[in-house]
Amino acid sequence: PCLEDPCHTTVERLLAHVNGAVKLGPGKVVADLGAAYGGTARLFARSHGCRVHCIEISEKENEDNARVTEAEKMQDLIAIHPESFCETSLPNASVDAVYSIDSLLHAGPKRGDVFAEVARILKPGGAFVYADIMQADLLPEEGMPLLTRVLERLKLIRLGTVASDRVLAAQHGLVAEAFHDHSTNVAAHYGTIRQRLMEKRSQFSDAFVERMSAGLEAWVAASKGGMLVWGFTVMRKPN
């Protein structure tokens, strides 16, 4: 999440981190976990000529991705896989890099399966770069009600943490190299969305505005209360 241009700025930062970890270019193969409509994948392919495997379980998003990819004549560089990123059809050691933006949290208790799958499909020396909203490693007791509001909306018991992700990574042979912290952007991002919602509230029902506003306020409060962490994690599969 970024204040000025959430999608574009986040994707540009992600691209820079992936390219820094694994020099992208024609011939490189990348996997996008939770590819959604494929915008990030097309940017990677367009910018560096690499082939991107879009892993996405949503039928609607895959259909839209296929339509835009065909319209932009990028079928040779974009492959769409309608499947879970916890268990993909990609061959062992077949990709140079794996990336994901704000998708891993949806794995819930199967988060460890994601790391196992990443370790399986990465080539030796390949990198895993992701951004994901996580809970802080140390949670202030007074802030627990704030985190609970967020977890209830996500229908989760807990989120991942920087420390627990490093443990999961190590269990599957991945090495954590860096965490680039941008946690302050969470409150700014959701606060801006709420502001825009209130400016356009006449276009929506009162019930919708109240429900969305309460959810956005929960994210802002949890972030300001030090309960949430967000940034870019870089991991690697050793040679």
pLDDT tens for 159-173 read 999 999 999 999 999
Using alpha carbons, select from 12, 13, 49, 11 the residue that is nearest to residue 30. 49
What is the predicted pLDDT for the residue at 4?
A: 37
In this predicted structure, the answer to whether residue 177 has a pLDDT above a threshold of 50 is: yes
pTM: predicted TM-score of the whole model, two decimal places: 0.91
Residue 53 has pLDDT above 50, yes or no: yes
Q: Residue 181 pLDDT > 90, yes or no?
A: yes
Is the pLDDT confidence value at 2 over 60?
Answer: no
User: Which tokens go with 71?
Assistant: 């319209």
Task: Name beta bridge partners: 234.
Answer: 129, 178
Q: How many CB atoms lie within 10 A of CB 84?
A: 18
Distances 237 to 24, 48, 84, 124, 193 between C-alpha atoms, Å: 17, 22, 21, 5, 37
Can you tell me the distance from the alpha carbon of 195 to that of 213, in angstroms, rounded to the nearest whole number? Answer: 9
120-173 residue pLDDT tens: 999 999 999 999 999 999 998 898 999 999 999 899 999 999 999 999 999 999
